[in-house]
Amino acid sequence: MAASRDAASDGVAPRARRSVLYMPGANERALEKAKGLAVDALILDLEDAVAPDAKTEARDRVCAAVTSGGYGRREVTIRVNAMDTAWHADDLRAVAEAGPAAVLVPKIGSPTDVAAVESALEAAGAPDRTALWAMLESPAAMLHAEEIAGSSERLGVLVMGTNDLARELHAQQVPGRQPLLGGLSLCLMAARAHGKVILDGVYNDITDAKGFETECLQGAAMGFDGKTLIHPSQLEACNRAFSPTEEELALADEIIAAWEQAIASGRGVVTVRGRMIENLHVADARRAQAIAAAIADAGG
């Protein structure tokens, strides 16, 4: 299995993607405001946030925003309209010319969908630096997640579409997300099997700060790399939930130091704070350090 161009061999992203904020492509003021937000990545949206009669104007505005720059170290992605819409082909051609960090395609349900998008991007001259992000938001996508994750080198990130998934499952969106956990877990396993980054879905109630924080912590505990967001007010709690704590980093330093000292002295048994340390604990410690380094590199 070849490693993704967008993820390290151990599944750690080479850049921070704790917070990934959707911004409406039809709103010029919002696109400008995004340049000053403490966000790791932006999704400039041509799909749900744009009315049908504004699609063309929004496409032009978003592509101009990408090419004009001004977003600093923030990773800038464009979400195009779905494959079965009248706007999809024109969206892909425009995105290929603009050359953002990535194109996010909604409603990916199979490896065939990935291949079709990749072929269209390449035919339109998309640069190699423009990665493909796939939204998984249907029962079919959950059941084919492993095949989708391994279907393309250009595919770097899986994005959970939890609103559409709940709708298609006829499931209620309840605290704890029990009806969605099976699908979320399948996609997480698929991402890790193929070294891809995976982002949790959005939280819809921007007035419920406690519920949002709880869901961020749940996503981080499950293993997601970050979370997609719908409002700037969600940024601080999200960044905090998906960042290693000072205590976690201190423990990581202790584990690595003890392990390296044991190796150097020829000892095969290591304990830190009364716990036996094995290779897997060292790998986790190095991963925490790598995440912290990526966050620091992105400006905190």
User: What does the angle CA 25 – CA 26 – CA 30 come to, to the nearest 5 degrees?
Assistant: 70
CATH of 19-241, one of 2.60.40.10, 3.40.50.300, 3.40.50.11810, 3.20.20.60: 3.20.20.60
How far is the C-alpha of 137 from the C-alpha of 135, rounded, in Å? 6
Global pTM?
0.91
Three-point CA angle 196, 109, 45, nearest 5°: 75
pLDDT (0 to 100) of residue 7 = 41
**Per-residue model confidence (pLDDT) at position 299:** 73
Query: 195-223: per-residue pLDDT in tens?
Result: 999 999 999 999 999 999 999 999 999 99
Longest distance between any two alpha carbons in the chain, whole Å:
70
Which residue has better confidence, 215 or 265?
215
